Amino acid sequence: MTSSGTGWSGGAFGDRAQCVLAPNADTMTLDGTNTWVLREPGAQRCVVIDPGPMIESHLDAIAQAAGGRGNVGAVLLTHHHHDHSEAAKEFAQRMGCGVRALDPEYRLGSEGLGDGDVVEVDGLEVHVVGTPGHTADSLSFLLPAERAVLTGDTVLGRGTTVVAHPDGELGAYLGSLDRLHALAEAQEATVVWPGHGPVIDDALGAIDFYISHRRERLAQVETAWRSLLERHDPPATDDLPMAVVEIVYSDVDPVLWGAAEWSVRAQLAYLQR
């Protein structure tokens, strides 16, 4: 399957992964949510990551890729956002397994999920890496056998992600990028299998770009913020984030300014920490 450009439609990757693309494309989800079905070659049961939105045809497609009821060892969530989690409990019930997530509210069954956990299903090993920032409960999943890291919304296949203040937190996010960078530098993760958009064949390059983009934006936000405060009639505190957006994101489609405002709020919180 294609892994670049706008023709992303999911498909098989490495020897262990099948990406089933959900039909929920919009400005925030890019091509739609990537649901990942992971299975050790020849094994019966698989792991399903992010069943995605409650769309019947999508659940049927994942169930088919997973091999039907009894063939899913666990459903794991990268984070709680609805486009990743909405169908999780329903899908797990149909498959006869649990849902494991960092946030207890999104679990089905007694098993949690957190940094350092290793999930093993029929020989498949998934290592959990805590990567808070996009949300407080964001996790990434490392597949050592594929040297792949599944990043949810922490690193996307295209463009950059939103740190959604106040649940998301920029200091934590920068720390998470550093952690992913270290995994890529050590060649423990050479490819990124993201929660939206195409797979990335150069994990280190992509994470480098994310880090430099984030630092650049932060510097732009700081400059805009200081210039607004120095004005004769500075904007009211509540209007300040959007005033910063209008300066820094002037090159971005205004349809995305709402999301940009949350990102700016996260950056202002970070600058004022």
Q: What is the residue whose two structure tokens read 């004769």?
A: 232
CB 92 within 8 A of CB 108: yes
Distance (Å, whole) CA 256 – CA 273 = 26
Sequential DSSP letters for 56-115: HHHHHHHHHHHTSTT-EEEEE-S---HHHHTTHHHHHHHHT--EE-SSGGG-BSS----T
Instruction: Note if 83 is an active site residue.
Output: yes
Give the interface segment with Zn ion, choosing from 86-94, 96-104, 149-157, 221-229 (CB under 5 A).
149-157
Among 40, 153, 169, 261, binds Zn ion (CB under 5 A): 153
Place of tokens 């950056």: 267
Report the C-alpha gap between 259 and 271 in whole angstroms: 19
Instruction: Name the active-site residue from 31, 83, 137, 167.
Output: 83
Q: Report how far apart, in Å, the C-alpha atoms of 153 and of each of 24, 116, 192 are.
A: 15, 19, 11
Q: How far is the CB of 249 from Zn ion (least distance, A)?
A: 19
For the bound state, the minimum distance from the C-beta of residue 79 to Zn ion, rounded and expressed in Å, comes to 6
Residue nearest to Zn ion (CB): 81
**Which residues 61-90 are close enough to bind Zn ion by CB under 5 A?**
81
H/E segment holding residue 120:
strand 118-121
CA–CA separation, 155 vs 196, rounded Å? 9
DSSP state of 191: E
Q: Which two tokens stand for residue 175?
A: 């720390």
Q: Are strands 72-76 and 99-100 parallel, antiparallel or unpaired?
A: parallel
Using the contact rule CB under 5 A, the part of the chain among 6-14, 54-62, 153-161, 263-271 near Zn ion is 153-161
Comparison of 40 and 137: residue with beta carbon closer to Zn ion: 137
Q: Which is nearer to Zn ion, 40 or 153 (CB)?
A: 153
Q: Report in angstroms how near the CB of residue 153 gets to Zn ion at its nearest.
A: 4
CB nearer to Zn ion: pick between 146 and 153: 153
User: Which of 71/151 has CB closer to Zn ion?
Assistant: 151
Number of residues that bind Zn ion (CB under 5 A): 2
Q: Which is nearer to Zn ion, 81 or 214 (CB)?
A: 81
Does 167 sit near Zn ion (CB under 5 A)?
no
Q: How far is the CB of 248 from Zn ion (least distance, A)?
A: 22
Least CB distance from residue 17 to Zn ion, whole Å?
A: 20
List active site positions.
83
- List contacts with Zn ion (CB under 5 A): 81, 153
